[in-house]
Amino acid sequence: MVVMKAMRMESDQEVVQIVGRDPRYAALLMPSMEDCAKESIYTQEETKVKRFGFAGASSEKDGARVITLLQDAFLANVRSENNLRPKCIYVAVMLRCIMDATLNKDAMDDKDYVGNK
């Protein structure tokens, strides 16, 4: 949830909707949402400062470094110039596959298949 918020998805509802509207998905995401609320992480700016520990005079520079890492290194196969939305969608698909495997063991496909690597 922290990574999704760092990629400019500030609403918990938006994250749940992009993963899937099934209430079971929301229930599985609830602990992550509660952790963000406990740490008072609601926006991208709060994510950079609080979660990544970039407090102090250089927090703007370090915050820009986090965004650069998210754009360039995190999921490098998904291209996103200044728009992190494609990466958010990719992460949501991965989350949904994990949740489907958690909720229904039959939904888990062959983990050794090269397409799943």
Residue 12: pLDDT band (50, 70, 90) is confident
Model pLDDT for residues 13-65, shown as the tens digit of each residue: 888 999 988 899 999 999 999 988 888 877 766 655 555 544 443 456 666 77
For residue 82, give every residue at least 6 positions away whose Cβ sits within 8 Å of its Cβ, in sequence order, or none.
71
Tell whether the model's pLDDT for residue 114 goes beyond 70.
no
Domain ranges of the chain: 2-116
Summarize the confidence of residues 59-77 as an average pLDDT: 77
**Maximum C-alpha span of the chain:** 51
Q: What is the architecture, at CATH level 2, of domain 2-116?
A: Alpha-Beta Complex (3.90)
**Closest to 1 (Cα-Cα) out of 38, 21, 22, 23:** 38
